[in-house]
Amino acid sequence: MNWSKLLCPKRFGENEVSSQQSDTRSNFQKDYDRIIFSSAFRRLQNKTQVFPLPGSVFVHNRLTHSLEVASVGRSLGNNVVPFINEQTKGKYATLVEQIPTIVSTACLAHDMGNPPFGHSGEDAIRNYFIQNSESIKDGLSHEQWSDLIRFEGNANALRLLCQKMEGKREGGFRLSYPVLASIVKYPWESSREGEKKMGFFQTEKEWYKHIANEMGLLCKQDNPLTFARHPLVFLVEAADDICYQVMDIEDAHKLNILSYNEVKDLLIELFNSKFDSHWLAKINTTLNEVADENEKVAFLRAMAIGKLTNECSLQFTENYNAIMQGKLNKSLLSLLPAYMQNAMSTIKTISVNQVYNHSTVVEIELAGYKIIGSLLEKICPALATKNTGFSAKVKKLIPKQYITNSNSKYHQLMSAIDFVSGMTDVYALELYRTLEGISIPGINR
């Protein structure tokens, strides 16, 4: 793979590379702005990350998480630019300088396909189709059915960004090829054996194949279709992993799930007394100067993210040849020095035991599971070609952009998923209450 193709600024849905004309922004900066100003991105502010949306304490939602991932992604991009220019002898310097913008844009968009109610939303969608296989599976191909029972938010992000909704223009967001490819963590279809995740549905398979071929991504297998990752995916993945693992610990402290000393003990293990004496000296000085525990945790979080960002950047450069040859099948975090891997493993264990299984998290997961399953139970029949009675009434509540003209059962089911996965937590709850007859608009009692 080579950077002249990997960073080609072609846009999905457009035949030619758009000229800059009087606009001083690069094509990739335009991509960033399109995401920031989109309603789909704004809706992330009302989608759960881990903890229930804020009461008196403001914790992360999908929007704040995505903004922070974009910030770390930009730093990772900045860190590797000099190395790539050195490896390519500056031949593609103008394009390579755009890497921080490409990575940060992909980071902004990476969670846009996730349904409401956190990761339980994805599980609920998969479970709905698994539990109703007898009534739904008939008429679907193996690959189409696999898409439904292995629904993946990452693949849904690509669909959201590329699909033409009813009444809207071709090409969806019309983002550049490098940004779209950098979002796809798992560049293969759902029918690939031995993989829990996938990067694109059958609806986007040919589109992704075209994008991948245009950029010179290595095709590893035709059936099921499998490509090597775009090199920048490793940076997007690292930014996401760094943020959610560290920020979830900070949120847990704000909610009094973890004490200051517990957080300190977890994060300080990312630093080694032999190799990181300058980091540790700065940490100890600052912690002695600051009295507020929230501020101390925020400082530790910043130092931890800085250390992880630098180390992941180093791993990208040290594994550069394997990445460019499509041979690296591990995340950058999994390549960190042993002491850092041990620290991250401890953080993950504590997160699972004390954070992700905390009662407030479990409660919203259970509620979300019930709500999404119930919504799909009513919306899927409503989007069928022929419906009567209750389903016909439900269809009137569905925005026109989600009502497909296709007679394909698979496309109708995907449209139902589009509608449900695009909902905020609050809207999903409101519609659930309405369809279940729990609340009636205009009647407050």
pLDDT tens, residue by residue, 321-363: 999 999 999 999 999 999 999 999 999 999 888 887 788 778 8
Structural domain includes residue 442: no
Give me the pLDDT at residue 267, please.
94
Structural domain includes residue 180: yes
- Shared domain for 199 and 245, answered yes or no, is no
Task: Please give the model's pTM, rounded to 2 decimal places.
Answer: 0.92
| Mean pLDDT confidence for 236-254 | 92
- Shared domain for 70 and 202, answered yes or no, is yes
Do 64 and 212 form a contact (C-beta atoms < 8 A)? no
Q: Is the pLDDT of residue 51 over 60?
A: no
pLDDT digits (tens, 9 = 90+) for 144-169: 999 999 999 999 999 999 987 665 66
pLDDT band at 56 (very low <50, low <70, confident <90, very high): very low
Q: Is the pLDDT of residue 445 over 60?
A: no
pLDDT band at 307 (very low <50, low <70, confident <90, very high): very high
pLDDT digits (tens, 9 = 90+) for 101-137: 999 999 999 999 999 987 889 999 999 999 999 889 9
Give me the pLDDT at residue 226, please.
94
| Percent of the chain surpassing pLDDT 90 | 67
- Shared domain for 287 and 352, answered yes or no, is yes
- Shared domain for 114 and 216, answered yes or no, is yes
What is the torsion angle, in degrees rounded to the nearest 10, for the CA atoms of residue 95, residue 101, residue 102 and residue 106? 180
- Shared domain for 270 and 241, answered yes or no, is yes
- Shared domain for 250 and 301, answered yes or no, is yes
pLDDT digits (tens, 9 = 90+) for 209-239: 999 999 999 999 888 899 999 999 999 999 9
- Shared domain for 371 and 339, answered yes or no, is no
Give me the pLDDT at residue 406, please.
85
| Mean pLDDT confidence for 305-320 | 98
- Shared domain for 171 and 75, answered yes or no, is yes
Structural domain includes residue 181: yes
Structural domain includes residue 33: yes
| Mean pLDDT confidence for 47-60 | 61
Domain that holds residue 406: 360-435
CATH number at residue 410: 1.10.3550.10
- Shared domain for 385 and 320, answered yes or no, is no
Considering 357, 377, 393, which residue would you say is the last residue of a domain?
A: 357
Mean pLDDT (the chain, rounded): 90
Considering 227, 259, 284, which residue would you say is the last residue of a domain?
A: 227
- Shared domain for 257 and 215, answered yes or no, is no
CATH number at residue 64: 1.10.3210.10
Structural domain includes residue 221: yes
Q: Mean pLDDT check: name the lowest of 17-31, 73-87, 115-129.
A: 17-31
Give me the pLDDT at residue 342, please.
96
Q: Is the pLDDT of residue 55 over 90?
A: no
Number of domains in the chain: 3
| Percent of the chain surpassing pLDDT 70 | 93
Give the per-residue SS3 of 142-177. Answer: HHHHHHHHCCCHHHHHHHHHHCCCCCCCCCCCCCEH
pLDDT band at 19 (very low <50, low <70, confident <90, very high): low
pLDDT digits (tens, 9 = 90+) for 383-436: 886 777 888 889 989 998 898 888 899 999 999 999 999 999 999 999 999 999
CATH number at residue 337: 1.10.3410.10
Considering 315, 331, 357, which residue would you say is the last residue of a domain?
A: 357
Structural domain includes residue 320: yes
Which residues touch 345 (CB under 8 Å, ≥6 apart)? none
